Structure 1
Amino acid sequence: MHSASAQEPSAAKPDGGWQALADILKKLEPSVDTSLPETPVQASIRINQLIASGKFQQALNEIEKKQPTVSYMEQPGTDVQLRFLRARALTGLGRTAEAIDVYQDMTSKYPELAEPWNNMATLQLKDGLLDLANESLRMAISINPQYGIAHRNLGLVQLIMANHSFDQAVLNGVTGAATQAAATKRIINGN
């Protein structure tokens, strides 16, 4: 009889003891999140996709969550990428002055990079700040003389400046200036 009563509890569990094993395994499960954290590269790709799809505010919110945890001295690659993404998101939101400030800050923290100077120049150009754009592009080229995009942008800024000068010459009655003004406008417009 003793053996019959020992089998009664297992008879009460039709699963043959699997539930007990499941309960033990449940107790052994980690109580913390064991998923792998997002790498800086994965975060940059994800935020870049937000910007590319026009979700500028969402991207900016994500950047602002990550930036305080990233030191530009300890993680310069991640920091610089977040700063570039921040400036792009601000530009997308029409907050050009703030984006220029981000690029300006980058030029002092990362003086070896030509890209912040070039990107800042494009925003300065959009704001009609031709002299500043010209100076910024010259800085980009002095840092990286092989930076083709900066050379092209400098050429465009100089064409726009030349066009303004030709327009002033036209207003002052200089013969032939109208032809030169028209020629520079065609080049600027890609015609």
Structure 2
Amino acid sequence: MHGASAQELSASKPDGGWQALADVLKKLEPSVDTSIPETPVQASIRINQLIASGKFQQALDEIEKKQPTVSYMEQPGTDVQLRFLRARALTGLGRTAEAIDVYQDMTGKYPELAEPWNNMATLQLKAGLLDQAYESLKMAIGINPKYGIAHRNLGLVQLIMANHSFDQAVQNGVASAAKQAAATKQIINGN
């Protein structure tokens, strides 16, 4: 006695089998893409998560795909968010000068925002550009006098500037400035 072939078995099945159900379901599939597009907020959250997890280049690639489709005049909120994320991704990649340029551009396009000035100042400070950081923070505070972080950052910049001045005084023969130099260093270092 020979076993039945696969063709004979499938031919003997009634039309109500699994394949018939799959065929019916296939016909019911929508013919257009019904997925919901990602909102700007969702995109920002996703890109922010990439940056937070250290995937700076991937975040930058995502931003560069989205940014050309966003107009700063028509979608200012989305544009601002993408620019901030771009600057953060560039900073994470060690491309500080480019990040500063992004913030500088933002200060021209969004003069009502204090945050680009503050963020630019932190990068300027890290790059050793004390005078520029000081001026950027003064702008941030001028825009938003209640911007506490900018006030704190301005205080740190002023302490660093004071410390440099005290160090210069010591080097130029004013021994009593050593105490002030040491005191400012302690404050700067958080001791």
Shift of 1:33: 1.9
The one-character-per-residue Cα deviations of 1:62-108 (angstroms, maximum 9, x if unpaired) are 10111011111111101100000000000000000000000000000
Cα 1:16–1:6, aligned 2, differ >3 Å: closer, same or farther?
Answer: farther
The one-character-per-residue Cα deviations of 1:133-170 (angstroms, maximum 9, x if unpaired) are 00000000000000000000000000000000000100
Residue range with higher mean Cα deviation, 181-190 or 17-26? 17-26
Shift of 1:27: 3.5
Shift of 1:6: 26
Q: State the superposition RMSD in angstroms.
A: 4.9
Shift of 1:41: 0.6
Give the TM-score normalised by the residue count of structure 1.
Answer: 0.89
- The 8 Å contact of residues 167 and 178 in structure 1, kept in 2 or not, is answered as yes
Residue range with higher mean Cα deviation, 55-64 or 23-32? 23-32
Shift of 1:25: 5.3
Between the two proteins, what is the percent identity of the paired residues? 91
Shift of 1:120: 0.1
Q: Give structure 1 stretches of 5+ with no counterpart.
A: none
Q: Give structure 2 stretches of 5+ with no counterpart.
A: none
Cα 1:109–1:23, aligned 2, differ >3 Å: closer, same or farther?
Answer: same
Shift of 1:30: 2.3
Q: How many residues align?
A: 191
- The 8 Å contact of residues 70 and 79 in structure 1, kept in 2 or not, is answered as yes
Mapped partners of 1:30, 1:92: distance in 2: 43
Give the TM-score normalised by the residue count of structure 2.
Answer: 0.89
The one-character-per-residue Cα deviations of 1:19-50 (angstroms, maximum 9, x if unpaired) are 66764653353223211111111110010010
Residue range with higher mean Cα deviation, 86-95 or 13-22? 13-22
